[in-house]
Structure 1
Amino acid sequence: MPTKLEIARYWGSIDASFCEDTEELSCFACGYFYSGRYDKTPEKIPLQKAHIIPDSCGGKNEVSNLVLLCPMCHREAPMINDRDSFLKWIKARPHFYLQRQNSLLVELNNYGIELSKFADITCADFSLFLQNLRHETSLHADFEGLGGGRIPMSTMAALLAKYQHLLPIKGCLKNNSMANDLQQNLW
């Protein structure tokens, strides 16, 4: 069985979009990478070796038939005897962060939150918002093998629904009082 580094180098030489950096391996399908959470030794990064043509359909354990996928993409990868379909699926798979964003949008919709209202919120604002609410949240265990616990999108949506009055609203001038308001109201 080829090593993860051998698989990454093989695909990087064929198409750089599969593996842009063999020093920082990421999922070939969604781009998820493990940043500083693991030793950067390729074999220790929890990407999985996935067969393009499943071994149950005669696929070989060769670099040309293996890709590196995160556990979530590996679970959802097509299991068919069709190399072109598999590679097309990899290329079309939305980036991990886009998947998370879409999941948040679905959850916000479930709470009936009007998205246009928050159009001016910056990532820094949202990050501060979540940091100040950490006492009201709990992390889900890592069931997907992505490393560490994560705040579910449903939790983020529930917090936005509960405390949306503390966030800057579109059309209003932003000021530095948001941090003070959050700390006074939530701590």
Structure 2
Amino acid sequence: MPGPKTPEDQPEVDAAALFGEQTEGSAAPSLADAVAAAEPEERLHPVLSNEEVLAARAKARSNIEAQRRKAATTDLIKAEEERLAREEGLVTGDGVKDEMVTVTLDLAEHSARIVLSGTPYYHGHTYTVPRHVGDTLREIQSRGHNHQNDIEGKGLSERMRRPHLTMLNAKTAAVTNAPQMVA
């Protein structure tokens, strides 16, 4: 059984430094300095110095902050793009109506183009647009043909009898005999 500890067994600690007393010719050390002098410095990593560990932690913190800023910027850009698309009429918020479709315009003889929300769509051209825009283009196209038939004195049945000869290939989705733009 070990005996009582003697003063020789204890590390020497400057009592004046511990209690903040100033000795001759020395500046008043802080309590942290006195404790640091009395205790050996605890290593934060077995290989790196404490300064290197603290620098690595600061760099990791700055990397995480940069990732947060980048994610916030990406989210803001996405939200702004969605807002602008809604303003331009490109999206409705309904997944079915916002689905992209391909429309080839075959306008009546009296029409050269359709203008929707300031965007011109020309006869004979094929456009990939959201379904709600494609539905509107097809409706305007149909009403234009109905108007042309009324002007010419033809009924709807006459228009349906006229052969269009436009064919779609089911395998390749190729369009043949589509109306062409005449220069």
**TM-score interval w.r.t. the shorter chain?**
under 0.3
Q: Larger relative CO (CA 8 A, sep 6+): 1 or 2?
A: 1
TM-score norm. by structure 1 comes to: 0.21
Q: Which has the higher helix share?
A: 1
TM-score normalized by structure 2? 0.21
Larger-gyration structure (1/2): 2
